[in-house]
């Protein structure tokens, strides 16, 4: 089976040349050749995934051989990408051009999607979680480059208040919508999102490494090259202890995107990245507008609409 190359939309080769270098094109072809090697068709899928979250009995029921995985991968790419090569180049950039590592990561992505049955999930599935976090996590428009911004106010979070077995599902579901809308908006440009984390009034009693791993771990493992910046604001010196624990689970690419900003630096640093009418007043801007996760999602899909139905509905926008 060959990789899916049909969903090229209206993207011209000139635009692709601007997004992907000739060296990357060569690596993409190597990755495809290795991943879709016909000799692997009947081989059982390698069991390499290690999740810190409870495994479900439905794990990989329909994914047994590499041929099964190829079908699932091509179906995913055909409905979620402007051009297939943009999918592969993100993994290659995340692994510094390591073809074998990229291949293994892609295999783990498809296994993860199957394990949590992400395309069968709906927004209403997480209603209780969204209610608990509406003051803790919200969206704050976009930065000057158009990258959407997710904000977290740590002091408003109650450790242990969220069902850990649902964390990777809800994080994956939300990021799936955010990144796909970003993909439609950018029409293929490899844009990314920003995360602002405010540690005002933070203390060790607010430490929740499972939450940190769910957010950062899911992002780096299944949404490569999508995090533009994670800005950690007002983190006290004691936070270094908790960060050292979380950092163990992060790769170098992710840690490079993490920036610490002291309280006195917040207005200056954030104004460099955000227009005043977007930036919240508490951070030196003029806006009071916050958008909850539930409000954001309702813009694009109904409460009982599955991710699979969402993709089908948005396909025409992807192909414009």
Tell me the average pLDDT across 217-227: 90
Out of 65, 91, 115, pick the residue that ends a domain: 115
Both 69 and 150 in one domain: the answer is no
What is the DSSP code (8-state) at residue 257? Answer: T
Out of 115, 142, 170, pick the residue that ends a domain: 115
Q: Residue 313 belongs to a domain with what CATH number? A: 3.40.525.10
- Residue 205 pLDDT class (50, 70, 90 cuts): confident
Whether 148 maps to a domain, the answer reads yes
Whether 18 maps to a domain, the answer reads yes
Q: What is the pLDDT of residues 20-63, one digit of tens each?
A: 999 999 999 999 999 999 999 999 887 644 444 444 444 445 78
Both 130 and 196 in one domain: the answer is yes
Q: Is 253 exposed, middle or buried (0-12, 13-18, 19+ CB in 10 A)?
A: middle
Q: What is the count of structural domains for the chain?
A: 2
Closest CA to 301 of 292, 309, 289, 291: 309
Both 110 and 137 in one domain: the answer is no
Whether 89 maps to a domain, the answer reads yes
Whether 19 maps to a domain, the answer reads yes
Whether 7 maps to a domain, the answer reads no
Q: What is the pLDDT of residues 126-180, one digit of tens each?
A: 999 999 999 899 999 999 999 999 999 988 988 888 887 888 999 999 999 999 9
The two three-digit tokens of residue 52, written as one number:
């810190």
Taking the model in full, what pTM does it have?
0.86
Helix (H, G, I), strand (E, B) or coil at 54: coil
Q: What Å distances lie between residue 193 and 72, 93, 124, CA to CA?
A: 26, 16, 24
Tell me the average pLDDT across 249-264: 87
Closest CA to 77 of 19, 23, 28: 28
Both 141 and 162 in one domain: the answer is yes
Non-local CB neighbours of 234 within 8 Å, separated by 6+ positions: 198, 199, 200, 202, 261, 262, 263, 266
- Residue 120 pLDDT class (50, 70, 90 cuts): very high
Non-local CB neighbours of 282 within 8 Å, separated by 6+ positions: none
195, 233 contact by CB (below 8 A) = no
Both 110 and 138 in one domain: the answer is no
Q: What is the dihedral of CA 188, 278, 200, 255, to 10 degrees?
A: 20
Both 102 and 25 in one domain: the answer is yes
Tell me the average pLDDT across 121-125: 97
Rounded distance, CA 214 to CA 297, Å?
19
In degrees and rounded to multiples of 5, residue 148 shows phi and psi of: -60, 150
Q: Domain span at residue 30?
A: 13-115
Whether 1 maps to a domain, the answer reads no
Both 86 and 227 in one domain: the answer is no
Both 107 and 156 in one domain: the answer is no
| More confidently predicted of 296 and 189 | 296
pLDDT of residue 76: 96
- Residue 320 pLDDT class (50, 70, 90 cuts): low
Tell me the average pLDDT across 205-234: 85
Both 93 and 220 in one domain: the answer is no
Whether 223 maps to a domain, the answer reads yes
Whether 141 maps to a domain, the answer reads yes
Helix (H, G, I), strand (E, B) or coil at 138: strand
Out of 58, 86, 115, pick the residue that ends a domain: 115
Both 187 and 236 in one domain: the answer is yes
Asked whether the predicted pLDDT for residue 100 surpasses 80, the reply is yes
Helix (H, G, I), strand (E, B) or coil at 288: coil
233, 261 contact by CB (below 8 A) = yes
The two three-digit tokens of residue 10, written as one number:
């209206």
Both 296 and 172 in one domain: the answer is yes
Both 162 and 305 in one domain: the answer is yes
């Amino acid at each position: 089976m060959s990789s899916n190359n049909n969903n090229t939309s209206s993207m011209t080769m000139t635009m692709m040349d601007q997004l992907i270098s000739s060296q990357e094109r060569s690596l993409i072809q190597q990755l495809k050749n290795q991943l879709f090697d016909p000799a692997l068709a009947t081989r059982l899928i390698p069991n390499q995934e290690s999740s810190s979250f409870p495994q479900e009995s439905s794990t990989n029921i329909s994914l047994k051989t590499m041929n099964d995985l190829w079908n699932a991968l091509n179906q995913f790419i055909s409905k979620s990408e402007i051009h297939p090569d943009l999918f592969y180049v993100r993994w290659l950039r995340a692994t510094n051009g390591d073809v074998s590592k990229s291949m293994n990561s892609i295999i783990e992505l498809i296994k993860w999607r199957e394990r949590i049955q992400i395309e069968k999930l709906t927004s209403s599935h997480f209603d209780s979680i969204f209610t608990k976090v509406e003051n803790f996590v919200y969206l704050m428009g976009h930065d000057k480059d158009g990258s959407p911004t997710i904000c977290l106010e740590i002091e408003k979070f109650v450790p242990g208040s969220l069902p850990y077995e649902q964390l990777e599902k809800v994080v994956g579901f939300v990021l799936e919508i955010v990144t796909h809308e970003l993909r439609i908006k950018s029409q293929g440009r490899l844009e990314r999102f920003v995360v602002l984390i405010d540690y005002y009034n933070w203390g060790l009693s607010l430490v929740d490494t499972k939450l940190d791993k769910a957010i950062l771990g899911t992002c780096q493992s299944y949404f490569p090259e999508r995090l533009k910046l994670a800005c950690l604001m007002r983190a006290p010196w004691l936070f270094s202890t908790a960060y050292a624990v979380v950092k163990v689970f992060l790769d170098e690419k992710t840690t490079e995107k993490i920036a610490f900003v002291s309280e006195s630096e917040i207005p200056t640093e954030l104004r460099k990245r955000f227009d005043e009418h977007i930036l919240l007043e508490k951070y030196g801007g003029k806006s009071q507008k916050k958008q909850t996760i539930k409000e954001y999602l309702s813009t694009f899909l109904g409460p009982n609409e599955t991710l699979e139905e969402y993709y089908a509905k948005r396909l025409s926008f992807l192909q414009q």
